[in-house]
Amino acid sequence: MSKEKEQNQETAISRRSFLKGVGTGAVAASVAPTVFIDAETAAAAQTGEEINRAKIKLNINAQTYEVEVEPRMTLLSVLRDGFDTSGNRLDLTGAKPICERGECGGCTVQVDGKAVYACMMLALDAQGKQITTVEGLANGDNLHPVQEAFIQHDALMCGFCTPGFVVAAKSFLDQNPSPSHEEIKEGLAGNICRCGTYPFIFEAVKTASRKLL
Amino acid sequence: MASWGEAKDSRLIGKRVSRLSGTDKVTGKAKYTFDINRPGMLYGYILRSPVAHATITGIDLSEAEALPGVKAAIPLIEPGKRVRFEGQEIAAVAAITPDIAEDAVRLIQFDYDELDYVVDVESAKEEGAPQIRDDWKSNQSEPRVDERGDIEAGFAEAAVEVEATYHAPVQTHVCLETHGHVAEWDQDNLTVWASTQAVFGTRQNLARHFELPENQVRVITEHMGGGFGSKFGPGVEGVTAAKLARKAGAPVKLMLTRKDEHLVAGNRPSMTQQVRAGATQDGRFIAYDMSGYGTGGIGSGAGFTGPYVYHVPNHRTKKSAVAINAGSARAMRAPGHPQGAFAMDSLMDELAERLNLDPLEFRRLNSDSDARRNRIRQAEYTLGAQEIGWHRRNRVPGSGTGVKKRGIGMGCGLWGGGGGAGTQARVTIHASGAVEAVTGTQDIGTGIRTVIAMIVAEELGLRPQDITVKIGDTEPGLASRGSGGSQTIGSVAPVIKTAAMAAKRKLFGHIAPLVEADPGDLRAAGDKIYAQSDLRLSIPWKEATGYLGMETISEGGEWDENLRIGDVAGVQFAEVEIDTETGLVQVIKIVAVQDCGLVVNRLTTESQINGAVVMGLGYALLEERIMDDQTGKMINPNLEDYKVPGTMEIPEIVSIAYDTDRKITGIGEPPTIPTAGAIANAVYNAIGVRIRELPITPDKILNALG
Ligand code: FES
Ligand code: FES
């Protein structure tokens, strides 16, 4: 908590702005983002005017969205609550806001192939990257093997944590295609399920790994 | 009379069927309240008291209202009134983005005079402590005393006695979808998407609040992200969402933050009890005298069970609640049971040790006075002991060698869960062959949607996925109860079953003359309708329903007491491993044997047992609301410092859904009860020192080991 406060005073920006991207299991380096801002915003910046909004392009599920964001907006808030420049909601509500501070994995998406907490990444930092959300895993009506296995083993109850787990499990299997039981537990330690579906999640990941091999 | 028939005749009942909502949930298509986005929707945010106890003297919303993007701001407390816990509602705003709403809340000016507070239960009981409730004489409620037999005579007969104090902390629900609503007005009609366990209860409550006829309020809960007993009405936040929506003239989404969820959205009360117990030399539990209390914050109802599943002829219990400046308790998964069971099962082991008896034997001698439950429990003891390998436990507790020590323990539980009358449902068969089942229950993650489809499909000879189940909406006007007390399946399933039977009878009556058969001779199975006496007479389901022409069959059902059962027994065994250098307890294995009456969906039943065990494990080892005496605030209102079980804590869990009857019962709650007691006893068996206080954290282990 105190760290948050310090950061707040230093930069005089709200909490969300200082958060850095953290992947499940691994901490992604916090590098200065290359911000591709539109001409209008760039001009404003030149004159020292406060930048409140920027138009950026995001590549989500192999589709390009032009969105207007506040610099403080996280990737998660843009997916769920953002609008494109023609005023249409992105409405990608698969990733869930459960803690909004990197503690639960409910918002997990893939960024350039790695699992990332979308609540811990600024939308600005997601520019130029390939973002895959849970909505982008299936190929039309063909579910990804992880999704199929989750259904088969009932690795979900209320299902609120499920999108995060599905994306985390898929990313984990991308990196470790035939994990042991212990490795599965460690690989998914960044996600929480209050309904306690873990035993069946472990089974689902094992089944999916066999299908994917 | 309706019955569930024989197991050998069941095509679906008792089998493993994947959840109907599975695809929507794994693809992110499932829309929870948190995901509902309406055109022109605003975001609500509540300003909450930063202090535990104060009198509000003034609220100024003008600066917040002036912030561009803010569309409404309202006070939620009148000046002169007290706030009595950190997080109590003061005012609320609605704005065009969540961030602007949060900004606006920071601009609300409010003044208050701080009052003395008390967040520690022992201090709250002292004379001169700040008075929290106006309706109580002190901070402690009048004790409830319950006495059976002759307690003094009981102790006189006892050969051994145990005196002990047990404690369990406040646990919070931690629903992953926080409490919240989306409210939308169309003139005087209110539609609310709610993350609730009771669509009809929420409708009634909102209608009353806004003085509307109930049919002008619609409540929708297609999917919801966990309630565990804390989501039965709109709460302050639901009413606030509707008020803001009305004032702003636009739909408002108002979801609690993670911190709010810990502070204001309910909790399981703490438990502190002093107990004296006695047993005879031949192992009869003869006397039990318990006095205890718990805190439900500013709320009441902090009771717990005892002597619980055990039969003690002479007993006296004295229980009260202690108020402190903290958010109110709400029902939480088997209210009163896990805390009582932890104490009771610890006590049983302590008594058994004095008697030099195997704890399992001592339980066998003193189990339930109810005959059915006792019969089932005795069988569960055998099943569970075998599965865990009870003989492997340390004869002498703590006698294992090495840094890591293992131990085995057990615990018990019981639960009502039989359901009741009051559900309305319809099963409709269309000429196209489509079948719908409609009722006003809601799926809070238990899988009732799938169970409804299975029951209808079994009756009509179809597949579960052929049935369209419409639940979680008040619009059809088919009421059902709130989903609590593990009552959902017992309340809903009998009505669905009899409605499906009625619809089938009607269909048979309609087609029998056309195929020249006796309606009583017709059967439905394998997507066909056939005559039992002449198997050549068989028509596909869709052809049969085609005979309905312009007609539709739509039948209601009746609740039938004979289709359900309550009062179930459960037994659990735990094996733990303790690192005596770090104090860390790792649960190795849990065996949960749960009396399930008739299992409908074995897959989702096992899920429920697993999940209940996991929550019980959190209660045993991790979870605790920590209040700070110096500030009156909760120290750990997040998911990092308030620890719920994650993947690394999960042991091997053997969930035995024990079919005991051909009658249905709910099992959302019962399997969470015995876990903490079983783990606490396993810890003792491992290290030979008893921890009488939950959660059993490494510091307690290290202190105990000295
Ligand atoms: S919501 Fe992002 S980690 Fe919890
Ligand atoms: S399924 Fe409910 S939180 Fe995981």
Q: What are phi and psi of A53, to 5 degrees?
A: -140, 150
What contacts A45, CB < 8 A, 6 or more positions away? A37, A51
Residue A24 has pLDDT above 90, yes or no: no
Farthest-apart Cα atoms in chain B, separation: 86
CATH of domain A53-135: 3.10.20.30
For the CA of A119, the nearest atom of ligand 1: 2
Question: H or E element: which one contains B112?
Answer: strand B109-114
If you average pLDDT over every residue of chain B, what do you get? Answer: 97
Q: How far is the CA of A196 from the centre of ligand 2 (A)?
A: 7
Q: Which residue has the tokens 């919303």?
A: B61
pLDDT by residue (tens digit) across A160-207? 999 999 999 999 999 999 999 999 999 999 999 999 999 999 999 999
Residue A98 CA, closest ligand 1 atom number: 1
Query: Do A156 and B26 make contact, defined as CB atoms within 8 angstroms?
Result: yes
Question: Is the beta carbon of A194 within 6 A of some atom in ligand 2?
Answer: yes
Comparing A45 with B696, which gets the higher pLDDT?
Answer: B696
Which of A154, A161, A180 would you mutate first to test chain B, the one with the most B CBs within 10 A?
Answer: A154
Q: Do A191 and B647 touch (CB under 8 A)?
A: yes
The C-alpha angle with vertex B440 and arms to A96 and B225, in degrees rounded to 5, equals 15
| B89 CB within 8 Å of a chain A CB | no
**pLDDT tier, A37 (very low <50, low <70, confident <90, very high otherwise):** low
pLDDT band at A53 (very low <50, low <70, confident <90, very high): confident
**Residues in Cβ contact with A145 at an 8 Å cutoff, skipping those fewer than 6 apart:** A208, A211, A212
Residue A83 backbone dihedrals phi, psi, to 5 degrees: -120, 150
| pLDDT attached to residue B45 | 98
> Is B610 an interface residue toward A (CB < 8 Å)?
yes
Which segments within chain A are labelled E, that is strand? 54-60, 63-69, 108-111, 114-117, 130-132
Long-range contacts for B128-132 (Cβ within 8 Å, ≥24 apart)?
B130/B53, B130/B325, B132/B53, B132/B84, B132/B298, B132/B323, B132/B324, B132/B325
What's the pLDDT tens digit per position in B33-57? 999 999 999 999 999 999 999 999 9
Report the alpha-carbon distance of residue B489 to residue B443 in Å, rounded.
11
Report how far ligand 1's centroid is from the alpha carbon of A203 (Å).
24
Polymer length of chain B: 706
Does residue B335 have a cis peptide bond before it, meaning omega lies within 30 degrees of 0?
no
Using the beta-carbon criterion (under 8 Å), do B647 and A133 form an inter-chain contact? Answer: no
Task: Give the closest of B97, B638, B644 to A194, CB-based.
Answer: B644
pLDDT at B301: 85
Separation of CA A9 and ligand 1 centre (Å): 24
Closest residue CA from atom 3 of ligand 1: A102
* Mean pLDDT of the residues in chain A: 84
pLDDT band, very low/low/confident/very high, at B515 (cuts 50, 70, 90): confident
| Option in A16, A103, A162 nearest B26 (CB) | A162
B224 touches chain A (CB under 8 A): yes
B-chain CB neighbours of A154 within 8 Å are: 18-19, 22, 603-604, 606-607
> Tokens in use for A100?
């909004």
Dist. CA A203–CA A181, nearest whole Å: 9
- CB contacts of A89 in chain B (<8 Å) are 37
The stretch A123-146 carries a mean pLDDT of 97
Rounded to an integer, the average pLDDT of B544-549 is: 96
Residues B326-339 have a mean pLDDT of: 98
Exposed e or buried b per residue across B673-689, where buried means at least 16 C-beta atoms within 10 angstroms of its C-beta: bbbbbbbbbbbbbbbbe
* pLDDT score recorded for residue A45: 55
- Looking at residue A17, its pLDDT comes to 33
* DSSP per residue, B226-256: --TT--SS-HHHHHHHHHHHHHHTS-EEEE-
Å from B701 to nearest chain A CA?
24
- Residues of chain A contacting B34 with CB distance shorter than 8 Å: 93, 96-97
User: Do the Cβ atoms of A196 and B645 come within 8 Å?
Assistant: yes
Give the Cα-Cα-Cα angle B63, B65, B67 (nearest 5 degrees). 75
Band of pLDDT at residue B644, cut at 50, 70 and 90: very high
Contact A143 B26 (CB under 8 A): yes
pLDDT in tens, B397-412: 999 999 999 999 999 9
Would you call B171 an interface residue with chain A, using a CB distance cutoff of 8 Å? no
Segment B64-74 shows an average pLDDT of 97
ipTM of this model?
Answer: 0.97
| Ligand 1 binding pocket includes A165 (Cβ within 6 Å) | no
pLDDT, residue A213, reads: 85
**CATH architecture entry for A145-212:** Orthogonal Bundle (1.10)
* Distance (Å) from CA B195 to ligand 2 centroid: 14
Q: At residue B3, what are phi and psi to the nearest 5 degrees?
A: -150, 165
User: Which domains occur in chain B, in start order?
Assistant: 7-30+419-563 (3.30.365.10), 33-115+179-255 (3.90.1170.50), 267-417+565-705 (3.30.365.10)
Q: Do A154 and B612 touch (CB under 8 A)?
A: no
Q: Spell out which residues of chain B touch residue A199, defining contact as CB-CB under 8 Å.
A: 610, 650, 652-653, 655
pLDDT of residue A50: 58
Which chain A residues have a beta carbon less than 8 Å from that of B588?
Answer: none
Phi-psi region of B433 (alpha: psi -120 to 50; beta: other; left: phi over 0): left
Q: Is A56 exposed, middle or buried (0-12, 13-18, 19+ CB in 10 A)?
A: buried
Angle at B182 between CA B181 and CA B185, to 5 degrees: 130
Q: Dmax of chain A from CA atoms?
A: 58
Tell which one of A107, A188, A194 to mutate to probe ligand 1, the residue whose CB is within 8 A of the most ligand atoms. A107
pLDDT at B1: 74
Q: Is the CB of A195 under 6 A from ligand 2?
A: yes
Query: Which ligand lies nearest to the CA atom of residue A200 in the structure?
Result: 2
C-alpha A121 – ligand 1 centre gap (Å): 11
Residues of A in contact with B223 (CB under 8 A): 158-159
Q: Do A93 and B34 touch (CB under 8 A)?
A: yes
Whether residue A75 has its Cβ less than 6 Å from ligand 1: no
Pocket test for ligand 1, best of A24, A79, A103, A111 (most atoms within 8 A of CB): A103
Which of A20, A101, A133 has most ligand 1 atoms within 8 Å of its beta carbon, as the pocket-test mutant?
A: A101
**Identity of the amino acid at B268:** R
